[in-house]
Structure 1
Amino acid sequence: MYQQEQHLLAQPGGGSMSTAYQRVADSLRERIRSGELAPGSRLPSEHALMAAHGVSRNTVRQALADLQHSNLVDRQQGRGTFVAVQGVSHVLGDLRSFTETLLDLGVRPGITGIRIDVDEEPPAEAAEFLPGSRIWLVERIRTADGQPFCRMQSWVPDALAAAITPAALQKTQSLYAVMRESLGATPREATEIIRAEAASAEDARLLNVSRGTPLLSMYRWTRDASGRAVEYVRSSSPGDRYQYVIKLQQ
């Protein structure tokens, strides 16, 4: 019954190929995104999923682990697996763009308030990290289903700034996508620092919160595949709209 489950299987209609566990994960992901499986609700049992998809227990567990890695479900020992109750979340160690993270969570990404200018007085961290004497600030507000959740301020070197335009950001919804597709600079590794901060007057105005509202701020130093410094970024979100997830293993 299960002899094919680890082979590549054709999607219905002759579409792209995927492994058995990916097909199970995609099916559950779609049910979560559509609201059929609501936040906090319990997923079908492993046995029920095995029967519904014609796969083994190991395949079902691999699919659930994939959803847990994306923070879509919460697996509780002895109780079962539940749809995660969350705002926007990000797993530490994951260098995907915000757009990729939002899409994986079934949330519609958006960008507003784009501003791209030479920064005459960049933060010391940006000036020390990025090459060249002229540094650009790419600022935007990230939205999830139309609601602002993150103020992003990316400082980039002059050599990369020419291809970063409001039109390109609106089209791709991702600075990293612009870097990859137009500049050949694929973000490969980064160092992050996370701080609790109080919203400044400008943070408050852009995020539609009160001045002094607690923010979760992430500072990231990013290099591309060649080791070149390509971005220093501050991204700040109200604590009730964003969370970081740390997964530990012994």
Structure 2
Amino acid sequence: MSKLASVADAIIRHIESGSLRAGDKLPSEGELAASHGVSVGTIQKALARLVHSGLITREQGRGTFVSGTQVAPADVRYLRFRDAENKELTSYVHARSVKRMKRGGPWSAFLGGEDFVRIERTISIGGRVDLYSEFWLREDHFARLGDLDRVSLEKNLRELLGQRLALPTLRVDQWIRFAALPAAAARELQSSTDAPGFIMELRGYTLRDQPLYYQCVYSGPFSERLVVMS
């Protein structure tokens, strides 16, 4: 493991153990460099990686703070992994944006209707691999959910639909493929649109086998050897 990866992994372990919690301030770059025996440049690169994953935020003049939302295994039941040492990797969800649009695509062909909402999130798998997720709903379903703060958007959206709208997810179809990443996914993952990426498509159904949500999850190339958990 490189020095950069080792530093990032150490910070993640502190978050997982509870010694660093949401809102806590991290030591200064100099203090982190001294404690890990690396250069300040390495610390800056490690922190930049965690910022991009949504685990921490950096505020000018104030410092670096823990911000990532740790989610329970049930929240990412389709995206659970273990590393080569058989350790389950904690997932962290970071809400990026919520957009309303009329543009059609695979989501509209599946969901029907004309008005849609796309919830964009990034998911860090133990700080090792970053995923980008687009979760599509019909606009009328999203409106019935009421006001959703960032905490709600970083939880299990399927369970939210079941709890607030009495629309449980009863069946999910899943497809995977390798193809060029769309521009938005490549930008969020800091990957090239020319490089093949992993694409997972999920279609959720509710009562009477009616379409409920459409989701795409993307990842750029990565070298980690991960075990997929069922």
Structure 2 distance, partners of 1:103, 1:196, is 19
Letter of the aligned partner of 1:188 in structure 2? L
Partner of 1:167: 151
**Cα shift at 1:190:** 2.2
Relative to structure 1, is the Cα distance of residues 246 and 159 closer, same or farther in structure 2, using a 3 angstrom cutoff? same
Question: In the alignment, which of 192, 204, 208 is matched to residue 226 of structure 1?
Answer: 208
| Partner Cα separation in structure 2 for residue 130 and residue 204 of structure 1 | 25
1:204 and 2:186 aligned = yes
Deviation at 1:208, TM superposition (A): 2.6
Aligned pairs, number:
151
Larger mean Cα displacement after TM superposition, 111-120 or 151-160: 111-120
Matching residue of 2:96 = 114
- 1:132 maps to a residue whose letter is G
Q: Is 2:80 the partner of 1:102?
A: yes
C-alpha RMSD over aligned residues: 3.3
- Of 94, 119, 130, which aligns to 1:138? 119
Partner residue of 2:5?
none
Within-5 A mapping of 1:11-26: none
TM-score when normalising by structure 2: 0.54
Whole-Å separation in 2 of the counterparts to 1:147 and 1:213? 19
Task: Please say which structure displays the higher CA radius of gyration.
Answer: 1
Structure 1 residue corresponding to 2:159, chosen from 146, 157, 177: 177
TM-score where L is the length of structure 1 = 0.50
For the structure 1 residues 110 and 169, does the alpha-carbon distance in structure 2 shift closer, same or farther, using more than 3 Å as the test? Answer: same
Distance 1:100 1:234 in 2: 12
Residues 132 and 197 of structure 1, relative CA distance in 2, 3 Å threshold:
same
CA distances 1:121-178 after superposition (whole Å, capped 9, x unpaired): 131x2212214331111111111224552111111112321327333123x2x21122
* 8 Å contact from structure 2 (residues 95, 153) kept in 1: no
1:156 equivalent among 127, 137, 140 = 137
2:162 partner letter: R
How far did residue 221 of structure 1 move?
A: 1.8
Residue 219 of structure 2 is aligned to residue 237 of structure 1: yes
Alignment gaps of 5+ in structure 1: 1-32, 35-95
* Shift in alpha-carbon separation, 1:181–1:236, aligned structure 2, 3 A: same
The Cα shift of 1:118 comes to 1.1
